[in-house]
Amino acid sequence: MRRFLIAGSILLSLLLLPAVAQTSLPVFLDQKQVEVVHLRLDPGDWSKLQASYLDNTNYRATLEWRGYQHANVALRSRGRGTRSSTKPALRLDFNDLKGGKKFQELKSLEFENLEQDVSMLNEYLSMALFRNMGIAAPREVFVHLFVNGRDYGLHLAMEPVNRDFLAHHLGDDGGDLYEYSWSEPWQWTPRGAAESSYSQAIFKLRTNKKSASPRAIADFVNSLAAANSTNFEQTAGRTLDVKQLIRYLAVETFLADTDGLSGDQGANNFFLYRRARDGNFEFLPWDKDAALVRYERSIWQGVSQSELLRKMLDVPQQRQAFLAELQRVVNLVESEDNGLLRLAHEMLKTTRPFAFADPVKRYKNAEYEEAITTLFHFLKERPRLVREQIAAEQ
């Protein structure tokens, strides 16, 4: 009898195991094909999420991918201007619920609904360019999403910028991570000496909430008031990775991002990380669906309005370093082996059937095709225009 009980227990355990173990799966965020993902949850909970899509209420769900099942996922609506009841943008937390565990090395994932990225490629290509230029940027994979068996179209699964991200990309996860929160146009002008003018108002702390030193951000921004072309390194540059910011700005400049550091409405869409190893700040990109549109945008657009960017590039050596990095971006974009145009063609071939068939996207297929035309026109014309503007500075 005991033998039968043991055998029965083993059988029951095997039935309760996922059909596929995590360790046998490829790395989710390294895939360049559209991955089919199923989310399953109580239908009533999904209806509540759709009806209250502006709320951040978590619902228990199960993720299914390539035969693997991950239970106890905390699922909620996410985003700012992209929240939708028809095609919800989603955040998945894998170990926030009781009994939860990481999905591969990920504590969470963001599912972007591509509501503002009409080509469905701008965000993906922008982050790929950042990474190829050596800037830590989120990894992403396209997902054909089903919820309780219903088709919710093409999404972009993104790696969140959090402590796991810092460990993976920087090998430094003990520092203070801040997310910039746009509320009105701001150009790095001092907001006073009080820490709360920065750390609570516009920079939202995401790590070390009990031990962080927000004084460092206040001191950094206020040091810009005294900075000029002769003392930048001794003032603002003292706690800033200047080389990293110059390279970051070069990538964003090529992308003609109208909603980034040199955005039309002030700085936006970035994280600021104060590294544990040396206390210096570096910039991390986020949300680039406004990039790769305005190919004619000047490489100096928005720089003169920004206290940080203008004063940094007023230093002759740093201005030349920026132009050199910008030329590196152009060379990389046009390279045969790792070019952005090649990647764009590859990913368009991969995603176009899913984009056309997406039953819940907010735009028509004709608008999608127009956005694709704009994207490829940008990739053809932008390198030439940037090269001309670099040459004009020599």
**Is 23 a residue whose pLDDT tops 70?**
no
* Consecutive H or E run containing 176: strand 176-180
Output the DSSP codes for 75-88: EEE--STT--SSS-
- Is residue 270 a contact partner of residue 286, using CB atoms and an 8 Å limit? yes
Mean pLDDT of the chain: 91
CA pair distance 160, 106, nearest whole angstrom: 9
Please classify residue 375 by burial: count the beta carbons closer than 10 Å to its beta carbon, then call 0-12 exposed, 13-18 middle and 19+ buried.
buried
Q: Which two tokens stand for residue 228?
A: 């000029």
**Is 261 a residue whose pLDDT tops 90?**
yes
- Is residue 187 a contact partner of residue 307, using CB atoms and an 8 Å limit? yes
Task: Look at residue 12 in the predicted model and tell me its pLDDT.
Answer: 44
Task: Look at residue 9 in the predicted model and tell me its pLDDT.
Answer: 42
* Consecutive H or E run containing 284: strand 281-285
| pLDDT digits 0-9 by tens, 25-37 | 888 999 999 999 9
**Is 13 a residue whose pLDDT tops 50?**
no
The percent of residues above 70 in pLDDT, for the chain, comes to 93
CA pair distance 232, 238, nearest whole angstrom: 8
Please classify residue 43 by burial: count the beta carbons closer than 10 Å to its beta carbon, then call 0-12 exposed, 13-18 middle and 19+ buried.
exposed
Output the DSSP codes for 186-223: --S----S-THHHHTTTEEE-S-TTT--THHHHHHHHH
Rounded to an integer, the average pLDDT of 210-234 is: 88
Which DSSP letter does residue 327 get?
A: H
Task: Look at residue 19 in the predicted model and tell me its pLDDT.
Answer: 58
* Consecutive H or E run containing 151: strand 150-158
| pLDDT digits 0-9 by tens, 325-362 | 999 999 999 987 768 999 999 999 999 999 999 999 99
Rounded to an integer, the average pLDDT of 141-163 is: 97
Please classify residue 308 by burial: count the beta carbons closer than 10 Å to its beta carbon, then call 0-12 exposed, 13-18 middle and 19+ buried.
buried
CA pair distance 287, 139, nearest whole angstrom: 12
- Is residue 299 a contact partner of residue 389, using CB atoms and an 8 Å limit? yes
Task: Look at residue 99 in the predicted model and tell me its pLDDT.
Answer: 63
Comparing 96 with 204, which gets the higher pLDDT? 204
**Is 49 a residue whose pLDDT tops 90?**
yes
- Is residue 46 a contact partner of residue 58, using CB atoms and an 8 Å limit? no
Which residue carries 């355990």 as its tokens? 13
Comparing 216 with 359, which gets the higher pLDDT? 359
Query: 57: how many CB neighbours lie within 10 A of its CB?
Result: 13
Query: pTM for the complete prediction?
Result: 0.91
Rounded to an integer, the average pLDDT of 366-388 is: 97
Q: Look at residue 201 and give its three-state secondary structure.
A: coil
Rounded to an integer, the average pLDDT of 369-375 is: 98
**Is 8 a residue whose pLDDT tops 90?**
no
CA pair distance 288, 290, nearest whole angstrom: 5
Strands 35-41 and 140-147: parallel
| pLDDT digits 0-9 by tens, 274-328 | 999 999 999 999 999 999 999 999 999 999 999 999 999 999 999 999 999 999 9
Closest CA to 117 of 358, 381, 388: 358
Please give the single-letter amino acid code of residue 16.
Answer: L
Closest CA to 148 of 41, 71, 52: 41
Phi–psi pair at 296, nearest 5 degrees: -85, 0
Pinpoint the alpha helices (H) of the chain.
2-16, 43-51, 122-132, 163-170, 196-199, 215-223, 242-254, 307-313, 316-334, 340-357, 365-392
| pLDDT digits 0-9 by tens, 230-258 | 999 899 888 999 999 999 999 999 999 99
Strands 35-41 and 281-285: unpaired
Compute, in degrees rounded to 10, the torsion defined by CA atoms 82, 85, 90, 92. Answer: 160
Task: Look at residue 105 in the predicted model and tell me its pLDDT.
Answer: 86
Rounded to an integer, the average pLDDT of 257-275 is: 96
Task: Look at residue 212 in the predicted model and tell me its pLDDT.
Answer: 83
**Is 11 a residue whose pLDDT tops 80?**
no
Closest CA to 343 of 63, 131, 92, 37: 131
- Is residue 109 a contact partner of residue 154, using CB atoms and an 8 Å limit? no
Structural domain spans, the chain: 23-158
CA pair distance 373, 278, nearest whole angstrom: 45
Q: How far apart are the first and last CA of the chain?
A: 88
**Is 2 a residue whose pLDDT tops 50?**
no
* Consecutive H or E run containing 271: strand 270-274
Closest CA to 99 of 134, 133, 70: 70
**Is 77 a residue whose pLDDT tops 90?**
yes
